């Protein structure tokens, strides 16, 4: 047999296309031709495959080898095709059984010594293969754990090309491929350092606001002087968020798999806890939103999918970077257009921003120590544009803890019901009741619900919304702000286990949302 | 004659026998011109066949065919024209073949590639 087929997956965003690899050996002088829109890194596969095959004791034939990747119109990139190309050629050469080879998806990069190396994006590739109806896959041993997260697909891990060839019937000495036995991954997911809200002294209002943010998925901005505890609070938001649902976990793990992020590489397992990303304010647009040369990669907003994106010193970020997040904030996904195609990455993150009140940072309370000119102060927070702030449901002013709170904390008086575990339980209960209330709608958490729906559902007695109506009449809150406040009020009601809004919910929402502009508070 | 030339000569002999066994008529051997040498010229029915023979002892340096580069093929095409001119042959069909003679462990294996242009 001089023609054989093997199969691999090409990824664009999270979507994968099944790639058929045809290998033909013709009676002509030895050469290696690779056609079908490979990029530069894939063209190098020729040399890797030749050396790997030779060093595995199964050298390529002294003939002309033509490898075609089809469909030819789909751009292909990277080294994940090496294994499929090598095994396809061996099948064409009759060294292995072609019918066995074409039953399996092969994913993996080859080293010159014939080792099968890990590649990014194995989880979404196996998911794509499953969607295309392929239920058998051979992946690098380094990616075996994540590949096994896909239900119903038989996955084997390969250490060397020789093993794969042996598996497909080559008469070479090699050990067997490995099935996943779960021992490489600790059952306990690698969690962030144990941060607990109980560590925060005072700041009862901020903790309550954080609880609301967690329960309703509301975006939040904290403004306060340095040392008020903004970063401390933000780092503890993930600790009160519920575990990811299975679909959310797989989606988020797949994004981490494509990006080859460190969290993922360490565990290789399913991310069950919400991710937390806190980029430095020098972050570039591409690092945050996604993109990059050639095949786009997910940015931090996608790595924070179903988790928290914390922008410390938010006004220090480049303005275009901040503005680029507006559209993903609205749609929960980001589309990256490149010549290679359009990549779609989910980006359902919860935005948490912290800012100093002014460039010197001391304009808090009465602001006596502040040395900034009023214009500089306005310009500072003015960097956070109206449209961006519009999407932030909770805007909180923080004051540093005072000596009385520190003393109380030492006595353990105010910390009752303040551990992350206790608050997480409240948040989980609130999410349950909101998803019950929103059953039959496309939304599950309050932050997703549009205003019109909320107003229709508002059957509260007259007078309950008095505080809100009053704020609208006085021009403090726009109609959009009105809707935002209603969402927040519902979260408050969910947290307290009420099925209807009361005046207290509305008041709390008005207080936490504040007026429409930054300067109005 | 040194050892390497001996090996080459032996390989060409084996290739000639191989071709004769298959009905080819050898009409020239080791024809030289300024630009190089043609190992074998044979007639296969109505076609002139120009053959490059590569002989190897053991496969430590890769497959014999791997040493036939693009440049080598281009040179052979020029040589074919030179040969035809020298022998005043025209209007015949020609073909370029390659034969590898691999000697390893006392066994000789011969591979024949046709139409390598």
The per-residue pLDDT for range B74-103, each reduced to its tens digit, is: 999 899 999 999 999 888 889 999 999 988
Kindly determine whether residue B65 and residue A63, on different chains, have CB atoms separated by under 8 Å: yes
A interface mutation test: which of B64, B66, B74 has the most A CBs within 10 A? B66
Is residue A264 within 8 A of residue A257, CB to CB? The reply is yes
CB atoms inside a 10 Å sphere around CB A320: 9
Instruction: List all residues of chain B from 55 to 114 with a beta carbon under 8 Å from chain A.
Output: 62-66, 68, 73, 98, 100, 111, 113-114
What residues of A are in contact with residue B65 (Cβ under 8 Å)?
29-30, 62-63
pLDDT of residue A226: 86
Instruction: List all residues of chain A from 320 to 379 with a beta carbon under 8 Å from chain B.
Output: none
Kindly determine whether residue B100 and residue A62, on different chains, have CB atoms separated by under 8 Å: yes
What's the rounded mean pLDDT across residues B49-65?
A: 84
Kindly determine whether residue A29 and residue B65, on different chains, have CB atoms separated by under 8 Å: yes
> Which of B63, B114, B115 lies nearest to residue A62, judging by beta carbons?
B63
Residue A97 touches chain B, beta carbons under 8 Å: no
Q: Kindly tell me if the per-residue pLDDT of A456 is higher than 90.
A: no
Cα(A455)–Cα(A290) distance, rounded to whole angstroms? 36
Work out the percent of chain A whose per-residue pLDDT is above 70.
Answer: 92
pLDDT of residue A78: 84
- Report residue A520's pLDDT band, with 50, 70 and 90 as the boundaries: very low
The residues near A84 (Cβ < 8 Å, ≥ 6 apart) are: A6, A7, A8, A19, A21, A105, A106, A107
pLDDT of residue A511: 86
What's the rounded mean pLDDT across residues B4-24?
A: 91
The residues near B109 (Cβ < 8 Å, ≥ 6 apart) are: B101, B102
What residues of B are in contact with residue A27 (Cβ under 8 Å)?
113-114
Which residue intervals of A311-419 are DSSP H helices? 319-323, 326-331, 374-382, 386-390, 403-411
Lowest mean pLDDT among A15-19, A128-132, A174-178, A363-367: A363-367
- Which residue of chain A comes nearest to B68, CA vs CA? A29
pLDDT of residue A459: 63
pLDDT of residue A156: 94
Domain ranges of chain B: 3-113
* Half-sphere exposure of residue A517: CA atoms within 13 angstroms, side-chain side: 9
Q: What is the DSSP letter of A500?
A: S
pLDDT of residue A404: 77
Q: Kindly tell me if the per-residue pLDDT of A408 is higher than 60.
A: yes
Q: Which of A70, A59, A144, A152 shows the shortest CA–CA distance to A107?
A: A144
Q: Kindly tell me if the per-residue pLDDT of A108 is higher than 90.
A: yes
Lowest mean pLDDT among A36-50, A124-138, A254-268, A435-449: A254-268
pLDDT of residue A91: 95
Q: Kindly tell me if the per-residue pLDDT of A18 is higher than 90.
A: yes
Residue A30 touches chain B, beta carbons under 8 Å: yes
What residues of B are in contact with residue A59 (Cβ under 8 Å)?
63
What residues of B are in contact with residue A61 (Cβ under 8 Å)?
63
Q: Does this complex have an ipTM over 0.85?
A: no
> Nearest-CA distance from A62 to chain B in Å?
6
In chain A, the domains with their CATH numbers are 3-179 (3.30.230.10), 197-428 (3.40.50.300), 449-521 (no CATH)
> Nearest-CA distance from A30 to chain B in Å?
6
Work out the percent of chain A whose per-residue pLDDT is above 90.
Answer: 44
Kindly determine whether residue A62 and residue B66, on different chains, have CB atoms separated by under 8 Å: yes
Lowest mean pLDDT among A2-11, A402-411, A485-494: A402-411
The residues near B5 (Cβ < 8 Å, ≥ 6 apart) are: none
- Report residue A266's pLDDT band, with 50, 70 and 90 as the boundaries: low
What's the rounded mean pLDDT across residues A155-178?
A: 92
Q: Give me chain B's average pLDDT, please.
A: 88
Question: Which 3 state secondary structure label does DSSP give A104?
Answer: coil
- Which residue of chain A comes nearest to B115, CA vs CA? A28
The per-residue pLDDT for range A65-103, each reduced to its tens digit, is: 999 999 988 888 888 999 999 999 999 999 999 999 999
A interface mutation test: which of B54, B55, B63 has the most A CBs within 10 A? B63
Is residue A359 within 8 A of residue A372, CB to CB? The reply is yes
Residue A33 touches chain B, beta carbons under 8 Å: no
Q: What is the pTM of this model?
A: 0.81
What's the rounded mean pLDDT across residues A123-148?
A: 92
The per-residue pLDDT for range A350-400, each reduced to its tens digit, is: 999 999 988 888 887 666 678 888 888 888 888 888 888 888 889 888 887
Q: How many CB pairs under 8 A join A and B?
A: 26
Question: Which 3 state secondary structure label does DSSP give B58?
Answer: coil
What residues of A are in contact with residue B52 (Cβ under 8 Å)?
none
> Nearest-CA distance from B75 to chain A in Å?
15
Domain covering B3-113 in this structure, CATH number = 3.40.1350.10
- Which residue of chain B comes nearest to A61, CA vs CA? B63
> Which of A27, A28, A30 lies nearest to residue B66, judging by beta carbons?
A30
> Nearest-CA distance from A29 to chain B in Å?
6
Cα(A267)–Cα(A142) distance, rounded to whole angstroms? 11
pLDDT of residue A9: 94
Q: Give me chain A's average pLDDT, please.
A: 86
What residues of A are in contact with residue B98 (Cβ under 8 Å)?
29
pLDDT of residue B65: 87
B interface mutation test: which of A33, A50, A62 has the most B CBs within 10 A? A62
Cα(A207)–Cα(A197) distance, rounded to whole angstroms? 8
- Which residue of chain B comes nearest to A51, CA vs CA? B62
């Amino acid at each position: 047999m001089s023609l054989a087929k093997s199969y691999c997956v090409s990824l664009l965003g999270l979507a994968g296309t099944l790639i058929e690899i045809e290998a033909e050996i013709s009676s002509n002088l030895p050469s290696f031709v690779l056609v079908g829109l490979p990029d530069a890194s894939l063209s190098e596969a020729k040399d890797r495959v030749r050396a790997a095959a030779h060093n595995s004791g199964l050298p390529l034939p002294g003939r002309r080898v033509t490898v075609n990747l089809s469909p030819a119109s789909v751009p292909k990139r990277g080294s994940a095709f090496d294994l499929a190309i090598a095994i396809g050629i061996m099948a064409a050469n009759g060294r292995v059984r072609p019918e066995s080879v074409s039953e399996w998806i092969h994913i993996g990069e080859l080293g010159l010594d014939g080792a099968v190396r890990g590649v990014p994006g194995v989880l979404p590739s196996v998911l794509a293969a499953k969607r295309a109806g392929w239920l058998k896959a051979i992946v690098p041993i380094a990616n075996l754990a994540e590949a096994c997260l896909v239900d119903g697909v038989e996955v084997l891990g390969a250490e060397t090309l020789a093993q794969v060839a042996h598996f497909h019937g080559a008469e070479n000495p090699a050990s067997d491929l490995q099935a996943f036995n779960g021992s490489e991954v600790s059952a306990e997911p690698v969690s962030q350092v144990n941060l607990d809200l109980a560590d925060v002294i005072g700041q009862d209002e901020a903790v309550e606001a954080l609880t609301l943010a967690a329960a309703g998925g509301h975006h939040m901005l904290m403004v306060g002087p340095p040392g008020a505890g903004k970063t401390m609070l933000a780092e503890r938001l993930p600790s009160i968020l519920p575990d990811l649902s299975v679909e959310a976990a797989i989606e988020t793990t797949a994004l981490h798999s494509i990006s080859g992020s460190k969290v993922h590489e360490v565990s290789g397992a399913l991310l069950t806890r919400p991710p937390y990303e806190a980029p430095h304010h020098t972050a570039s647009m591409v690092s945050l939103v996604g993109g990059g040369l050639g095949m786009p990669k997910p940015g931090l907003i996608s790595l924070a999918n179903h988790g928290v994106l914390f922008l410390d010193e938010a006004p220090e970020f480049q303005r275009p970077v901040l503005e680029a997040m507006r559209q993903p904030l609205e749609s929960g996904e980001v589309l990256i257009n490149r010549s290679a195609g359009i990549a779609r990455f989910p980006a359902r993150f919860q935005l948490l921003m912290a800012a100093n009140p002014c460039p010197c940072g001391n304009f808090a309370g009465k602001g006596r120590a502040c040395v900034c000119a009023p214009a500089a102060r306005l310009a500072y927070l003015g960097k956070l544009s109206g449209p961006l702030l519009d999407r932030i449901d909770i805007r909180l002013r923080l004051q540093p803890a005072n000596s009385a709170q520190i003393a109380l904390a030492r006595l353990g008086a105010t910390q009752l019901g303040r551990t992350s575990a206790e608050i997480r339980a409240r948040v989980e209960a609130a999410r349950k009741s909101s998803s019950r209330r929103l059953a039959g709608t496309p939304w599950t958490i309050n932050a997703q619900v549009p205003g019109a729906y909320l107003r229709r559902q508002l059957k509260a007695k007259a007078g309950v919304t008095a505080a809100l109506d009053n704020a609208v009449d006085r021009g403090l809150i726009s109609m959009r702000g009105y809707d935002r406040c209603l969402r927040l009020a519902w979260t408050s009601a969910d947290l307290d286990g009420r099925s209807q809004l009361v005046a207290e919910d509305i008041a709390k929402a008005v207080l936490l949302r504040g007026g429409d502009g930054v300067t109005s508070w | 004659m040194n050892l390497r030339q001996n090996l080459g000569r032996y390989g060409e002999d084996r290739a000639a026998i191989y071709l004769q066994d298959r009905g080819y008529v050898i009409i020239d051997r080791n024809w030289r011109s300024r630009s190089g040498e043609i190992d074998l010229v044979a007639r296969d029915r109505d076609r002139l066949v120009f053959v490059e023979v590569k002989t190897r002892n053991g496969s430590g340096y890769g497959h014999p065919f791997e040493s036939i580069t693009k440049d080598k093929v281009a040179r052979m095409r020029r040589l074919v024209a030179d040969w035809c001119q020298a022998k005043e042959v025209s209007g015949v069909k020609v073909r370029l073949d390659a034969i590898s003679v691999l000697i390893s462990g006392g066994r000789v294996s011969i591979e024949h590639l046709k139409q390598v242009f």
